[in-house]
Chains A and B, each alone.
Chain A
Amino acid sequence: MKHFDVAIVGSGASGGAVAYMLAKAGLKVAVLEKGRLIDRKAFSKDEIAYCRRDIATPSLFDEYHIIEEKVDDKWITTPTYESGWSFWNGNIVGGSSNFMSGMFHRLHPDDFRLKSKYGDIKGANVVDWPISYNDLEPYYTLVEEVVGISGKYQNHPFEPWRSSADFPQPPTDENEVVKLFDASCSTLGVVPLITPRAVLSRNKGHRNACYYSNFCGSYGCSSGAKSSSREALLFPALSTGNLTLISNCYVKKLESTQDRVTCAVVIDTLTNKESKITASLFVLAAQAHESSRLLFNSKNQFYPNGLANSSGELGKNLIFSAGGSGQGELKKETLKMITFDKLMQTGLFLNRSVLDWYFVDDKNEGRFKGGSVEFMFEHQNIISRAVKQCYEGEKLLWGKALGERLVKQFGESKSIRFEVFNDWLPTNDCFVSVDENHLDKWGMPVGKLRISGHSHDLKVGNYIAKKCEKILEAMGAENIYSSVSATPPQNLIAGGCRFGDDPKTSVLDRNCKSHDLENLYVVDASFMPTGGSVAYTWTIYANALRVGEHIVRLFEEEKRKRV
């Protein structure tokens, strides 16, 4: 059996970043990925396959989660095969990063010290991070260069400082609607910012620039422009000859002694054969909820409550991203400033964010941590937009009237959407465990997610959503609505293995190494005690590069000692 220096579980954003750092430094690395490798050419814009069936995620009848939610003061348990509410986000080589929209922001320096800055919030387990923005800043910059982020630096009071003058690539092209957007913002005294995108606006090595395919989020990218783990990190890592990428490889559990992980027990999902993979060091990068699950499923005589769980903190303080979304329609007959033809030009982005309410000091509402907003076109999927039109009030609309409505809706209007991101406060009622009575098709207990949002999250989300509705009004949009709820977006998941300096209150140390086992790291968003008020994949990438560099140093020190 081949022995690796490092075995990484999961090939998504975090796993790819660590693999990249290690393979470049000459270490022999294995990436164990349960999903298959999809060829870049197969990333078509097939709405049926990618958005309406489980092509890139497991069937919920084979692998599912148990979700616990509070309804009328009682915890109600529902398996996702019953609800259809999937917590899988992309289980192929490259993970969810293949399907992201790539709207990227750094966390603000105060996100690293939320407790010191804003104090306790009743019912929330807020703590400061053990590292600061200054510690992570070099890696945010490294992500811009290595993974590829396009954008334009604009000075804003809530934009964090940066060590390089500007982004390595200019922003992606924009639809003319930004003129209307920017003008509408300025009438309200709001500052519109160009959204940094994990999308290349220029060719870069083996990757081609974005060709504005009009179908970005939820689809893989056939030009390599989207800065997925697969394009930006795994392929360069593979080209070193040091990375062995093992797809269709489901990791059931890790085996360990008191101090060290000894092997990963894996199943080849094509042959159903079980085997063991050994390495000197193991890195978990399975996305936050699944990494905690894997540790629970790896319990043994030394760690009866779950591997690396001497603190009892494993799985706790699971967080998502709070907030909500809203929408309004720009209509042909009432459109201002730009022509309807320009608005309907497909593919180009409405690349705008608003950070004005990241920290709020409002004479009526008080001083509190707020959030960020992304503005975009409504997702361009045709079937899902058509399906939205098939109700007239409570009744279904069919026949010729439906046809007329569809032609008018698609031909004479375009919807602008906003998404609000604010902190999902960590609480005792939001955590992941496993359910021994529910087994996936490999016979392993499935992850059980108790989900509950803090009421403060809703207050913040609503505050910002109302401001955003005003922007849509100023643009002349009609049928404006927004919805803020405690239902989490299942594609932004963090926490469960908090990092911290005290082994009694955290699972990982500041380098994301288990406090308990000397050769076990967790590098997906599990480490995050708080999630910031942005979509946080830039932070996942940056932290994984930081941990990757730390692991390289360890191996180098080890080597020096041996010489």
Chain B
Amino acid sequence: MDRRYFLISAGLFTILFGAKIQETQKSKLFSLFESLIPTIEAVQNHLFPQGGKIPSAKEMNAIGFLKETLLHRSFDRDTRDFVIEGAKELIARTDGKFVTMDENQKERALRAYEETDYGSSWLHRIMILTMEALFGDPLYGSNIHQSGWRAIGIFGGEPRPTSRYCQI
């Protein structure tokens, strides 16, 4: 069943079953994620490396941000699926070796992945999610001590948030 058809026919039932489905999905997703995390983390670390003018993805715990963001209900579920599928695709293309490659190999693998439309969009998405981590409010667990903001000399406005996602 294509997704659009599913949504149309399921429209009326979302209220009744919505919450329950979300809970089971969440725990399934969590375990799926755990297996993909090392690859996504390695990609982030390559795109935002240590020793540059902005803080690295590793120092800023960008992977922690990404994990929590994707599991939050405010996050677009299509994009979440895309992040998962794109990571699986990278793993398949690199025979599961991406994480253990050296930096030159990683660069070649990612540039080759970028040659495909799918890979290019996926890498762009990972960059967006990492930039959200580096330049979003520190309340979300990254941009630690405002290091991302300090590096570019631009700071978030006041008042700063006191709870994530305005408590939804």
Contact = CB atoms under 8 A, between A and B. Distances in A.
A382 B167 CA distance: 22
A399 B75 CA distance: 26
Interface stretch (B27-35, B46-54, B93-101): B46-54
A403 B52 contact: yes
User: Main SS of chain B's interface residues?
Assistant: helix
Nearest to A441: B14
Contact of B154 (A53, A382, A387): A382
Contacts of B156: 45-47, 215, 382
Interface residues of A, number: 54
A517 interface: no
B131 interface: yes
Interface string A374-399: 00000010110011001000011011
B123 A396 contact: yes
Contacts, number: 145
Contacts of B149: 382
Contacts of A222: 159
A395 B114 contact: yes
B32 to A, nearest CB: 20
Given A84-B76, A407-B54, A407-B151, A55 B165 contact: yes
Contacts of B167: 42
Interface string A214-243: 110001001000000000000000000000
Contacts of A442: 15
B74 A403 contact: no
B161 A396 contact: no
Q: Which of A46, A61, A410 has the most CB of B within 10 A?
A: A46
Given A383-B135, A438-B11, A441-B11, A49 B151 contact: no
A79 B15 CA distance: 20
Contact of B158 (A45, A47, A54): A45
Chain B, interface size category, equals 35 or more
Contact of B8 (A387, A395, A403, A438): A438
B20 interface: no
Contacts of B15: 272, 441-442
Contacts of B47: 398-399, 402
Closest 7 CB pairs of A and B: A45-B157, A403-B52, A439-B11, A46-B161, A410-B152, A44-B161, A215-B157
Interface of A: 38, 41-50, 52-55, 59-62, 79, 81-82, 84, 213-215, 219, 222, 272, 380, 382-383, 386-387, 390, 395-396, 398-400, 402-404, 406-407, 410-411, 437-443
18 contacts: A42-B167, A47-B136, A47-B137, A48-B140, A48-B165, A49-B165, A55-B165, A382-B152, A382-B154, A386-B134, A395-B114, A398-B127, A400-B51, A400-B52, A403-B54, A437-B8, A440-B11, A441-B15
